[in-house]
Amino acid sequence: MPTLKERSAAVMPPMALHDLPFGIDHAQGSWLYTDDGRKLLDFGSGIAVNNLGHNYPSVVEAAKAQLDKMTHCCHNLFHYEAETALAERLVGLMGGGYKVYFSNSGAEAVEGAVKLAKYATGRPAVIAFKGSFHGRTLLCTSLTASNAGYRKHYEGLVPSIYFAEYPKLFGSPYPSEDGACPKAYFTQFDDIFKRLVDPYSVAAILMEPVQGEGGYVVPPREWVQYVREICDKYGIMLIFDEVQTGFGRTGNMFAWQTHGVKPDIMSCAKGIANGLPLSAVVGRSEIMDRWVAGAHGGTFGGNPVSCAAALATIDALEGGAIENGAKMGQYFMEGLKKIQGKNPVIGDLRGLGLMIGMELVQPDGAPDRALTAKVCACALDHGLYLLSCGCDKNVVRFIAPLTVSGEEIDTALEILDVAFAETMKKK
């Protein structure tokens, strides 16, 4: 009998296949259960989707109840309680003064946010950042600059997109005074506006408040605040891509709260419904009110089952999950620092809440992609599922569910300690 992997290879393209020899049979809480009988501690959370862990009871119950009531009627045709109630909830989380449009995926939300900025301002250009990842549609691919492989064979891409440097301070080529963010990250905008694009032609500056695929890079707060000032000066829309950072991942409901900087427009997805497909464009009311009928739309956005699950997800996040995630993130970071003390190959540890990156380097400071892959593989052999990221694929990213327990954190630390010991012994 063919394996699940073999059956998948027969009917799916190579870009949809995986190297792992097993599939997942079911999942619960922080754990994955494979089709070959293994139990894995999941610190990938479906790439920051299952922020409440797998099959969170109240979310499952809410989805089941909505399934019995209505699965779809199309938000382009009708209003219904689950969607409107969720929009009201999100506006409340923003402190009022915003409106919401729902779609299905993170890429759709980013694309919608950029379309909104262009439509509302009448301007053509967008500034994004090197190291960014915004999705796989043609526009989002054009806005992404973390891996040339994502863009290969899709040129020519969407025009009038310009890339600035994102302040990754570890390994930065720019000098720093007293540990402060180098001035080059601030003054680069003057150069962009002088040499590349007039600031009054720029519709939006699009940024991840913590870079995800680019390496879990946390920008200095003062730099984020400066970008806000630049946008205010020239009437540019500040868009935060909170697809990965949102819904408790960084220790607050949204990362903009951590930075103390409110965006004009925000895209969110992933953790919004703890595993059901849903995303949202959230924009200031005066901007959203310029988005007239027919300017944007979609059939499946705001699915009532997903909206019901999202309402239950937010209840659970506000009911203690975010607080637990922040507490466990601090506890986990303390344990990781002890492992770093024994392993100089760990060049940097960084993160907010339970969005933590561990960058591995060679003795000369160069990225060590091979070691990163070996550490993740060894951890998997011992029952801990991890993902890597970074432009050089040399960052181990830890995305535990916000509901993770101290005991599960301890298990992960024990496995990681063994993984480094075994990997370094073979090196």
List Cβ neighbours of 381 (8 Å cut-off, separation of 6 or more): none
Q: How far is CA 425 from CA 347, 418, 419, in A?
A: 18, 11, 10
Query: What pLDDT score does 394 carry?
Result: 98
Query: What pLDDT score does 321 carry?
Result: 98
Query: What pLDDT score does 338 carry?
Result: 98
Positions of the chain with pLDDT under 70: 427
pLDDT in tens, 325-379: 999 999 999 999 999 999 999 999 999 999 999 999 999 999 999 999 999 999 9
Query: What pLDDT score does 324 carry?
Result: 98
pLDDT in tens, 160-178: 999 999 999 999 999 888 8
- The one-letter amino acid at 382: H
Query: What pLDDT score does 249 carry?
Result: 98
The number of residues making up the chain comes to 427
Query: What pLDDT score does 54 carry?
Result: 98
Question: What does pTM read for this prediction?
Answer: 0.97
Query: What pLDDT score does 425 carry?
Result: 87
> Measured between alpha carbons, how far is 345 from 365 in angstroms, rounded to an integer?
9
List Cβ neighbours of 373 (8 Å cut-off, separation of 6 or more): 388, 393
